[in-house]
Amino acid sequence: MSDSDNESAETQLKIVIVGEPGSGKTSLASRYCHGEFSRQYYPTAGVDFFLNRTVLSGGRNVTLQIWDVGGQALVGNMLDKYVFGANIVFLVYDVTNLISFENLETWLNAVRAITASQHKKPGIILVGNKCDLEHQRAVRHDRQNKFIQENGLPFHLVSARTGENVPLCFQKTISEVLGVRLTRAEQEQQQPVMKAEIVASAAPEAPSPRPAPTVQSRSSVCSIQ
């Protein structure tokens, strides 16, 4: 096979999403693959599958088989079958739910034990979901940072609801696992245009003086639609 054949050949990746019930695994897969979000909670029984395609820098095609594992799988006897052979494992917790954070170690140990005999170990990525609910945060930043450092995990703070950082989290992880460098322009391209919700105020307010412009630290674009 020539080099050009190799480049055009499709790479396949198995991505497994695990974490406590309700942490938002299905919502993340659904946001990334379909650009959709639902407020309804339908617990995943067993595992669900999402199929997606992406193109990396240099035109490399990647087929993603996403295994969305129900949070109850930790107490069942199927987890090893779901996780084994993974190229990427997203370990998800909900920043507003302390238990989902405190159980991460159990999930991480289970994933490491299951994949211990794999020739090529999966990339394990920590994902803090529901960052749109930062005001309800239950997991202190210092505890979160300690866990990241102690376990040497890449970390992404995301929101399946707004889409913030979701494409970037997937695209960056996929690129890194495949040894492809994502350019800065490509990273910025992964940031979605987020819809701002309009909240009706009780009474009209007097116009306030225009505030001085501030420098935004995030590169997300916000549009009111």
Ligand X SMILES: Nc1nc2c(ncn2[C@@H]2O[C@H](COP(=O)(O)OP(=O)(O)OP(=O)(O)O)[C@@H](O)[C@H]2O)c(=O)[nH]1
List contacts with Mg ion (CB under 5 A). 25-26, 44
Choose from ligand X, Mg ion, none: what does 23 bind? Cβ within 5-8 Å by kind: ligand X
Site for ligand X in 116-135 (CB under 6 A): 129-130, 132-133
DSSP, collapsed to helix, strand or coil, labels residue 82 as: helix
Task: Decide if residue 165 touches ligand X (CB under 6 A).
Answer: no
* Buried b / exposed e along 119-133 (16+ C-beta atoms within 10 A): eeebbbbbbbbbbbe
Binding of ligand X by 173 (CB under 6 A): no
Closest CA to 163 of 129, 186, 137, 138: 129
Buried b or exposed e, range 56-84, using 16+ CB within 10 angstroms: beeebebebebbbbbbebbeeeebeebbe
Q: How far is the CB of 41 from ligand X (least distance, A)?
A: 4
Q: How far is the CB of 58 from Mg ion (least distance, A)?
A: 34
| HEC sequence for 163-192 | CCCHHHHHHHHHHHHCCCCCCHHHHHHCCC
Contact between 188 and ligand X by CB under 6 A: the answer reads no
Residue with Cβ nearer Mg ion (35 or 43)? 43
Span near ligand X by CB under 6 A; candidates 35-43, 144-152, 193-201, 216-224 = 35-43
Give the H/E segment covering residue 129.
strand 123-129
Residue 161 near ligand X by CB under 6 A: yes
The binding site for ligand X (CB under 6 A) comprises: 21-27, 38-39, 41, 43-44, 70-71, 129-130, 132-133, 159-161
